[in-house]
A and B are shown apart, each in its own frame.
Chain A
């Protein structure tokens, strides 16, 4: 490689951001400021640095989180440290929506305009916001705002997220921060079954930190400074979730995210919280998500002990016998995937947890990770043990800051207590977990794109075969599973495969989480045994009388009619009805937005999120959006030419695209035309 880094130097802040991840540069070869005698005699970097290529994405995050954008000097310095060609690093950085390569304010407001939020008035929020602070993108009042695809906060639509760049937050003492404790303790103390951290309007009552809590700051506290003598505090990294959003609340939150009102408990996303009989959601809203002790006193870590008792092969047998199918969308048998990984002679093996959750309308993984983070850590440990992995990567969606903090805390505590580390529970098994953050790319949820993303390459899907169980992350055998899939392993081991398989139907076993949003009375995550019908679920959530359509499975799924209440919510039942369960999205729409606009939003989503690798998807998604734009006010014969064109382009995307994104980009539109009679 003949690397060429250009002349731009990093600022002190940028250098500090990169060094906080990689340590200080040890030689001028790596971009240290002063050249030593040794530097003139031999070169450093090379293979050793190149082997750290997977730190490119964390490095880009470090700079973007600190400064708000990535300058030429910062990118060049990061490239020197990792011996990555700048052109490649630039290609990687420009792949992700969360990174900016041009200056922008430290505070960026992301306003969701996706399906559930559109159904709840996001267009009005954007219009009001535009009136107050100007067009998206432009910096006004110290922040810039932009519209965003689904933020995974659909139960509180319309939703928005403020991210503020600054010095890193303190990860460790979170458990001592009273405001960040979820509901657990206080809820039990007061005997409420639906504890409340804030009012239903998203919490307008600010809860202030007790300064005596002594710097135990995570989001969204300001660093505690010593009154009069203090220097002006450096700007801290912070975030604020505003949901449901109004323009006024957004401007306030974007102006001072540290002072924004607290987010309500994750339990508020679970209308059934605290009810008897829940399996996957039983701890959400009940335990303190910051306390490993609380987790253990609610049955935590019994499944891992069972796993050690029955051994890796025993775990795989149980998971296979339980009939567990992947919950990430493809419904692949998990036992088979684990068996195939475990039996590969090539080493090391990796475990990957896919927590990229970006399918519009999906927020179940977020609620689990925020409400019961230790469960995921335990489940990943079991999965690693079964598949022979000693390292697990948790690839977390970049727009999930609260889940990130809770998982970071959970990892710290699990390590301290010996639930992770060189010798888990004294069983001679070494396992640890690394969190890797995505950076705003739906496609990185596709498992092979996810591997590329972790490895520091553009998040483009690989062609299969070879499959991940054979050549996955870093080219090694890898088991990749969705968050919900993994946490199902806990009840499988505690209740036994047989009892687990008795739940649900013959071909879809166990409990299932459904993400209900849109025009319903009680949006949120519902847990039902497989086999419940669409009608059962709608009754639980409470639907108005004027429903126009229900979207199953998210943007990659399909629409059904309100009168199709009898569709069984199982993999086989939805398939037989010519639709899909996908990631468990049930998005209910009345007539206020209108089908043509909704379809346009879906088409826009796919156009934005296509990685651009293959022609059918890269250009096809653009042509699909154009055609839908042309017919947005047309029906009948006036629309028929464009509908014929859509069908042909859609069929080509489905048949000839490399990955599931392009292959499903036309599903929802097709179902709206054929099932709902759109444009008739």
Chain B
């Protein structure tokens, strides 16, 4: 949840979460309640700075009396609701969703994917060696960032961040339908020919590493990417008066990527091209 400092106190409502009576503010999602209660539900398309598309379905829980499972990230808690987060039915769906994703896309850079696959005993290989995959090669068409759509789970976050939820640039959209749907510019033109302004706010929200800094992509290719050897320093962008927060990720005395704290109440993790990519001058030695 985005931190919104000033607001009227919200009324509380009570519902049952895994048998325990639980009180949450009106408007809270089941996921908010789970997190408050310390329950760990996998999520992918949910993000702290965006309204989720609830498309990945890895967060489904069972609501007593409902015909289908409900996405915890988007379904609001209702008074009297009885929710089971760990029922056989919910766990099976989560497991199969992980299997479907892992058998069709490359989850190697998706944080926690490997851990969840283990926890749910998911077996992506069960669909056989001929199971169709997304099969995309990385699109390297500019110096700043790479789109490796083989890793894309189609969570819509980048589209929402580029479009109506943040950037208002609308350089990318989902094109095609079904299994052939892909994140794309118009007519799949290269980024420099598109409306992209290189704010990198799509990279900021991408949960899989499908969108990444060119510097990160190259280091991963070369096998030199090492998060344990990186430091993160949050500072202030000096380019203009907005004064956005920047978090510089530094490995071996080189800035390797720039993020921005999501809990900043003004910018919510968003930057412009200068703050995001204009760090070379800091490295001129």
| A contact residues vs B (CB 8 Å cutoff) | 1-4, 6, 72, 75, 85-91, 94-95, 101, 441, 458, 463, 607-616, 618-623, 626-627, 630, 645, 648-649, 651-652, 654-658, 663
Contact B170 A87 (CB under 8 A): yes
Given A458-B174, A609-B178, A626-B130, A656 contacting B60 (CB threshold 8 A): yes
**Contact partners of A463 in chain B: CB under 8 A:** 54, 71, 74
Note all chain A residues with C-beta closer than 8 A to B195: 2-4, 85-87
Question: Could you give, for residues 112-151 of chain B, a 1 whenever the CB lies within 8 Å of some chain A CB and a 0 otherwise?
Answer: 0000000000000011101110000000000000000000
Tell me if A90 and B170 are in contact (CB < 8 A): no
**A618 proximity list for chain B (CB < 8 A):** 154, 178-179, 181
Which B residues lie within 8 Å of A608 (CB)?
178
Q: Are A87 and B97 in contact (CB under 8 A)?
A: no
Interface residues of B in 171-197 (CB under 8 A from A): 171-181, 184-187, 189, 193-195, 197
CB distance from A455 to the nearest CB of B (A): 13
We find that the number of chain B residues with CB closer than 8 angstroms to chain A is 53
Q: Shortest CB–CB separation between residue B136 and chain A, in angstroms?
A: 15
Residue on A with the closest CB to B131? A626
4 additional A-B pairs beyond A87-B170, A87-B171, beta carbons within 8 Å, are A90-B187, A607-B179, A614-B55, A658-B55
In the complex, what distance in Å separates the CA atom of A189 from the CA atom of B53? 60
A86-B54 Cα distance, complex, nearest whole Å: 25
Determine if A651 and B181 form an interchain contact, defined as CB atoms under 8 angstroms apart: no
Which 4 pairs of residues, A with B, have the shortest CB-CB distance? A85-B170, A91-B173, A612-B181, A4-B195
What are 15 A-B pairs at a CB distance below 8 A?
Answer: A2-B195, A4-B194, A87-B175, A90-B175, A441-B177, A607-B178, A612-B176, A613-B156, A614-B57, A616-B57, A623-B100, A626-B131, A656-B97, A658-B54, A663-B68
Q: A90-B175, A618-B154 are in contact. Are A651 and B186 (CB under 8 A)?
A: no
Nearest Cβ on chain B to A648's Cβ, whole angstroms: 6
Q: Does B92 contact A (CB under 8 A)?
A: yes
Q: Shortest CB–CB separation between residue A260 and chain B, in angstroms?
A: 30
Given the complex, which residues of A lie within 8 Å of B193, measured CB to CB?
A: 6
CB distance from B204 to the nearest CB of A (A): 19
Q: Which residues of chain B are within 8 angstroms of A645 by Cβ–Cβ distance? A: 126-127
Q: How far is the CA of A612 from the CA of B181 in the complex (A)?
A: 6
Q: How far is the CB of B260 from chain A (nearest CB, A)?
A: 21
Check A87 against B55 for contact (C-beta < 8 Å).
Answer: no
User: How far does the Cβ of B129 sit from chain A's closest Cβ, in whole Å?
Assistant: 11
Please measure, in the bound complex, the distance between the C-alpha atom of A627 and the C-alpha atom of B127, giving whole angstroms: 8
Q: Please provide the chain B residues from 45 to 98 with a CB less than 8 Å away from any CB of chain A in the complex.
A: 53-58, 60, 68-69, 71, 74, 89, 92-93, 96-97
What is the chain A residue whose CB lies nearest that of B180? A612
Q: Is B208 part of the binding interface, using a Cβ–Cβ cutoff of 8 Å?
A: no
CB contact list, B231-255 vs A, under 8 A:
none
Residues of A within 8 A of B130 (CB): 626
Q: Is chain A's interface secondary structure helix, strand, loop, or mixed overall? A: helix
Minimum Cβ distance to chain B for residue A611 (Å): 6
Asked if A610 and B89 make an inter-chain contact with CB atoms under 8 angstroms apart, the answer reads: no
**A609 CB contacts on chain B under 8 angstroms:** 178
Closest to A4 in B: B195
The residue of chain A having its C-beta at the shortest distance from the C-beta of B71 within the complex is A463
In the complex, chain A residues whose CB is within 8 Å of the CB of B68? 654-657, 663
Cα A91 to Cα B177 with chains together (Å): 9
CB pair B189 A1 closer than 8 Å: no
Are the C-beta atoms of A612 and B178 separated by less than 8 Å? yes
Are A90 and B184 within 8 A (Cβ)? yes
* Closest beta carbon of chain A to B25's beta carbon, Å: 18
Query: CA of A86 to CA of B173 in the docked complex: distance in angstroms?
Result: 9
> Residues of B contacting A630 with CB < 8 Å?
128
Residues of A within 8 A of B186 (CB): 6, 72, 75, 86-87, 89-90
Q: How far is the CA of A413 from the CA of B156 in the complex (A)?
A: 45
In the complex with contacts A607-B179, A612-B181, A648-B92 CB distance below 8 A: yes
Q: How distant is the Cα of A663 from the Cα of B60 in the complex, in angstroms?
A: 14
Is B187 in contact with A72, judged by CB distance below 8 angstroms? yes
Cα A652 to Cα B99 in complex, Å, equals: 11
- Identify the closest chain B residue to A654 (Cβ): B68
Q: Which residue of B lies closest to A663 (CB)?
A: B68
Looking across the interface, which residue of chain A has its beta carbon closest to that of B171? Answer: A87
List of B residues within 8 angstroms of A622 by Cβ: 104, 132, 179
- In the complex, residue of chain A having the shortest beta-carbon distance to the beta carbon of B69: A655
Least Cβ–Cβ distance between A465 and chain B, in angstroms: 8
